[in-house]
A and B are shown apart, each in its own frame.
Chain A
Amino acid sequence: MITLVYGGSSSGKSEYAENLVCTTGYKNKYYLATMKHSDDAKDRIMRHRNLRQGKGFVTLEHDVDIVNAISEIDSIDSGDFSTNKADLDGEIVLLECMSNLVANEMFRDGEINSADDCVAKILSDVKELEESVSSLVIVTNNVFEDGISYDVGTKEYLRALGAINRKLAAVAEEVYEVVVGIGIKL
């Protein structure tokens, strides 16, 4: 089962998605981080870590090939993180964020992969991941409303992310758009 959380930059979508995951009551919660470590990203990663502190997430880091998270989950998942009997059996994964994953898959190992290849690859990875866990929450970004005409490379990226967002929205059970921290069900 997929839940999609969509929103602009600094819209509060991360915190909203984390709270959503926490209210589902699954015993095992994983945070699948797709952001590459760089100086620019450091502050943002620290902010997100602080947000998740105390919420009982195990962090997995895969900036490409998110299917590798499956074997990692299998190796960790020897017991339940939560001892709360009321919690649901199984595992929930919070993937954050699709916009980073698309950039990392597209501009990979010094090569530029086409939008179509990226879309097909990522959707297949997501499907495999979804099938191996109880629930998957995906955070993705609205980067489509500034009206600026970008260079060819950026346009390809926007096309890929837009296509993935639409495909995920079509198969998701629930889609939320987050505006100033408030989730609107679409």
Chain B
Amino acid sequence: MVLIVGGSYQGKTEYATSNFPNCRFFNQLHLFIKKRMDEGMGQEAILKEIHEAISEGDWVLIADELGNGVVPMDEKDNEWREVSGRILIELAKEAEEVHRVVLGIGQRIK
């Protein structure tokens, strides 16, 4: 599994499709996490569902980095940021490769 992270509008998807043309993509992972949290699911359960979704085939996971800002006033936003960050750390440990995209330029960090 390959994990690609970066801020919004940094060209992550384009980077992913041009560098990993033969993989399946799980894009906007951070929004998937938010959706599941809104449905009442916790960190472990969401991670488990992600694992099940990518259990077969070669997958590229793409997610926004959410943590590089001031602590959000809204408690739910704050919790989303935290859960999303923790899930990405776990996925990065399991990933064969981790790439970070800034200004369309990808840097392999693992």
Binding site for B on A (CB under 8 A): 7-12, 142-148, 150, 154, 158, 179-182, 184
Contacts and interface: CB of A to CB of B under 8 A. Distances in A.
Interface in B37-88: 65-71, 81-82, 84-86, 88
A9 to B, nearest CB: 4
B35 interface: no
Contacts of A9: 66-69, 71, 81-82, 85
B100 A179 contact: yes
Contacts of A181: 89, 92-93
A148 B98 contact: no
Interface in B1-42: 3, 5, 7
Given A158-B70, A179-B98, 12 more contacts: A8-B65, A8-B85, A9-B85, A10-B82, A143-B69, A179-B5, A179-B100, A180-B5, A180-B85, A180-B91, A180-B92, A184-B107
Nearest to A181: B89
A150 B107 CA distance: 31
A131 B81 CA distance: 37
A10 B43 CA distance: 13
A90 B80 CA distance: 41
Interface of B: 3, 5, 7, 65-71, 81-82, 84-86, 88-89, 91-93, 98, 100, 107, 109-110
Contacts of A148: 69-70
By secondary structure, the A interface counts as loop
B18 to A, nearest CB: 21
B69 A146 contact: yes
A180 B88 contact: yes
Contacts of B86: 10
By CB atoms of chain A within 10 A, which of B66, B70, B86 has the most? B70
A71 B90 CA distance: 39
Given A182-B92, A182-B110, A7 B70 contact: no
A176 B14 CA distance: 27
B22 to A, nearest CB: 24
Contacts of A12: 85, 89
Contacts of B85: 8-12, 180
Contacts of B92: 180-182
22 contacts: A8-B66, A8-B68, A10-B67, A10-B84, A11-B67, A11-B85, A11-B89, A12-B89, A143-B69, A143-B70, A145-B68, A145-B69, A147-B69, A179-B98, A179-B100, A179-B109, A180-B5, A180-B85, A180-B88, A181-B92, A182-B110, A184-B109
